[in-house]
């Protein structure tokens, strides 16, 4: 048996089309142009690429897009001042401060300064709490993308046994919460979990967000399970080149799973689309438009 490939690239392309159409409608009917601001501190090459892609996508969808690049030795006070300015900017509905930050800038201080209504990465304690209460407008982008993919591929979540490996604030914790809200029976695993393979073998939905290349073995996958691979790992390939692999041994897991996300082209493809979706949701919510005034299925 080979698994159904969950094509995040195709789903995200369709989602972006819907978002662009909705942005056009908002501009026409409500004079609102969703605005995204990115803040990058330092010169980490991967972060530079991520931020550039985010701004480019925002522009492609017809959003107002601004980016601020601060030097690697910028003080915490400078970063906080920028965030506070953007909090007050009526053209900006989403603020994304690219992580990780240089060590002199405390992530927690930045998140505390950020207006939760503009927190499109959904990392502030306010948005984490709203997610726990089942009242969140803004949900962390990659977990939100995972749920959209499960829905798109008709994966039965209610009653399923779901295992989330990894407990980060960015992915693992919100992913577990979303699966629980969708009535899965959720187990969370981490570096101190005993007998991870056994937990995997029981999972109807196996989600890996570990950051270790091909760590989850194919033999651990329950036959027919849905495998969501969140990992993005750069490994050496032939001739001094690199390739990107996930946290799951894809070739082996593909033999046993019912459905699986490839890396790249799976869950990662959804993250930027969901960031744009959050910016759109933030814009409508800040304007006081009810969610029902958005087109369905966004
Ligand atoms: P993270 O902060 O890097 O933490 C890794 C998690 O994995 C921790 O909870 C850790 O447990 C757990 N872990 C480490 N070794 C383990 C082991 N041997 N067995 C079980 N669990 C183990 O997590 P993250 O930020 O969510 O990132 C995880 C991966 O997802 C990375 O490859 C990252 O690049 C990728 N990612 C991709 C996207 C995307 O857009 N596609 C978004 C976010 C993350 P402890 O808590 O006990 O240390």
Instruction: Give the integer Cα–Cα distance in Å for 18 and 25.
Output: 11
Q: How far is the CA of 223 from the centre of ligand 1 (A)?
A: 24
Asked whether residue 294 carries a pLDDT value surpassing 80, the answer given is no
Asked whether residue 297 carries a pLDDT value surpassing 90, the answer given is no
SS (H, E, C) 244-272: EECCECHHHHHHHCCEECCCCCCCHHHHH
Q: What is the pLDDT of residues 229-259, one digit of tens each?
A: 999 999 999 999 999 999 999 999 999 999 9
- Mean pLDDT across the chain: 95
Q: What is the pLDDT of residue 1?
A: 74
Across 215-228, average pLDDT: 98
Degrees to nearest 5, angle at CA 41 with 77 and 264: 145
Residue spans of beta strands (DSSP E) within the chain: 4-5, 35-41, 64-70, 94-97, 161-165, 185-189, 205-208, 226-229, 233-236, 242-245, 259-260
Among 47, 210, 266, 277, the mutation site with the greatest number of ligand 1 atoms within 8 A of its Cβ is 210
Asked whether residue 109 carries a pLDDT value surpassing 60, the answer given is yes
Q: Which residue, judged by its Cα, is nearest atom 41 of ligand 1?
A: 268
Asked whether residue 284 carries a pLDDT value surpassing 90, the answer given is yes
Q: Which residues contact 123 (CB under 8 A, 6 or more apart)?
A: 111, 140, 169, 170
Q: What is the pLDDT of residues 87-107, one digit of tens each?
A: 999 999 999 999 999 999 999
Q: Which residues contact 188 (CB under 8 A, 6 or more apart)?
A: 163, 164, 167, 172, 173, 176
Q: What is the pLDDT of residue 293?
A: 58
Across 206-231, average pLDDT: 98
Q: What is the pLDDT of residues 133-169, one digit of tens each?
A: 999 999 999 999 999 999 999 999 999 999 999 999 9
Across 25-49, average pLDDT: 95
Q: What is the pLDDT of residue 41?
A: 98
Q: What is the pLDDT of residues 47-92, one digit of tens each?
A: 999 999 999 999 999 999 999 999 999 999 999 999 999 999 999 9
Instruction: Give the integer Cα–Cα distance in Å for 137 and 290.
Output: 11
Instruction: Give the integer Cα–Cα distance in Å for 283 and 291.
Output: 11
Q: Is 140 in the pocket of ligand 1 (CB under 6 A)?
A: no
Q: Is 271 in the pocket of ligand 1 (CB under 6 A)?
A: yes
Banded model confidence at residue 295, pLDDT cuts 50, 70, 90:
low
Q: Is 54 a catalytic residue?
A: yes
């Amino acid at each position: 048996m080979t698994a159904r490939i969950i094509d995040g690239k195709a789903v995200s392309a369709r989602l972006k089309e819907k978002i662009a159409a909705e942005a056009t409608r908002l501009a026409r009917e409500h004079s609102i142009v969703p605005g995204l601001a990115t803040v990058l501190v330092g010169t980490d090459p991967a972060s530079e690429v991520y931020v550039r892609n985010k701004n480019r996508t925002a522009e492609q969808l017809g959003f107002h897009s601004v980016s601020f690049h601060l030097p690697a030795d910028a003080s915490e006070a400078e970063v906080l001042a920028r965030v506070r300015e953007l909090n007050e900017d009526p053209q900006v509905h989403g603020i994304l401060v690219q992580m990780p930050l240089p060590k002199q800038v405390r992530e927690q201080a930045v998140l505390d300064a950020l207006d939760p209504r503009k927190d499109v990465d959904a990392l502030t304690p306010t948005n984490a709490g709203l997610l726990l209460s089942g009242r969140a407008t803004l949900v962390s982008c990659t977990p939100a993308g995972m749920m959209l993919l499960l829905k798109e591929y008709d994966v039965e979540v209610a009653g399923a046994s779901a295992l989330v490996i990894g407990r980060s604030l960015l992915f693992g914790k919100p992913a577990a919460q979303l699966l629980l809200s969708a009535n899965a029976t959720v187990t969370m695993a981490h570096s101190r979990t005993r007998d991870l393979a056994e937990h995997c073998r029981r999972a109807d939905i196996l989600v890996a967000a570990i950051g270790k290349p091909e760590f989850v073995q194919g033999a651990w996958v329950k036959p027919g399970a849905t495998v969501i691979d969140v990992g993005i790992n750069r490994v050496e390939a032939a001739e001094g080149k690199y390739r990107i692999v996930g946290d799951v041994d894809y070739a082996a897991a593909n033999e046993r799973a019912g459905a699986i996300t490839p890396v790249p082209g799976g869950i990662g493809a959804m993250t930027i689309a969901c960031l744009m979706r959050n910016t759109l949701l933030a814009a409508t919510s800040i304007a006081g438009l009810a969610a029902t005034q958005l087109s369905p299925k966004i």
